[in-house]
Amino acid sequence: MPELVVLLDEEGEAVGTADKALVHHARTPLHLAFSCYLLDPEGNVLLTQRALGKRTFPGVWTNSCCGHPAPGERLDDAVRRRVEQELGVVATDVRLVLPGFRYRAEQAGIVENEMCPVHVAVVEGPLSVDPAEVEQVRWEPWRDFRESVLTSGRQVSPWCREQVEQLPADLAGAATASAQRLPPAAR
C-alpha cells in the first residue's frame, strides 16, 4: 500500500492526497510534512545525514527527523512514528515550536514544497538507525550547532537552515506553540 501525503492549498487546507513516491518532482505540489529536533537529556541535538539513496537531498546533513503525517494522523503521533521507524528510539515530550514553518527548495530538478511544522522532542537510549533513511548520525550541543549554521555557513539542508534561523538559542526551553497556529489540515 502506498504511503500517502496530504496535499494542501495555499491556506493550508487539505485538498487531497497523493502517493509520496510520486509527489516529489520538478512541480511538487504543496503538501503537509513535519520536522523534529531530538534532544538528549544533556541538551545535545541529534543531527542526521540523509541516506544516499533518498530521492530528495541525498547525503545532506539536517535535523533529526522529517516526515509526512498520514491522512488523519495527528502530527505528534506522526513524529513519534517516524522517529521510531528511522532511528529506533522512542520520542517523549514532543512539543510544537514552529507551527507555521513553510519552505520550498530544489536540488537536481527535484522540489520540496511543504508546510512543515517543527517539533522538539527528547530521546534516551541507543539508536538503531534505518540505513534506507539515515546514512549517519551525530550528537552536538545545540548552541554550537546553531552558531555554526548562523555564523560559519555550515552546510545543512535548506529547511534546516531556515528553521535554525527561527529557533531559539535555548532549544530545550523553547516555548510550546499553540496548535491553533498549525495549518488547518494539521489541526
Q: Which residue numbers belong to the known binding site?
A: 24, 31, 68, 86, 112, 114
Q: Concatenate the DSSP letters of all residues of 74-110 into one string.
A: -HHHHHHHHHHHHHSS--EEEEEEETT-EEEEEETTE
Catalytic residue among 36, 65, 66, 116: 66
As a whole number of Å, the end-to-end CA separation of the chain is 25
* Amino acid code (one letter) for 45: V
Active site residue 3: no
The rounded distance, in Å, linking the Cα atoms of 8 and 16 is 7
- On whether the CB atoms of residues 127 and 133 are closer than 8 A, the answer is no
Active site residue 36: no
List, as residue ranges, the binding site for Mg(2+).
86
Q: Which three cell numbers stand for residue 78?
A: 506522526
List, as residue ranges, the binding site for Mn(2+).
24, 31, 68, 112, 114
Catalytic residue among 65, 114, 160, 162: 114
Q: How far is CA 35 from CA 1, 59, 164, in A?
A: 24, 17, 12
Catalytic residues: 66, 114
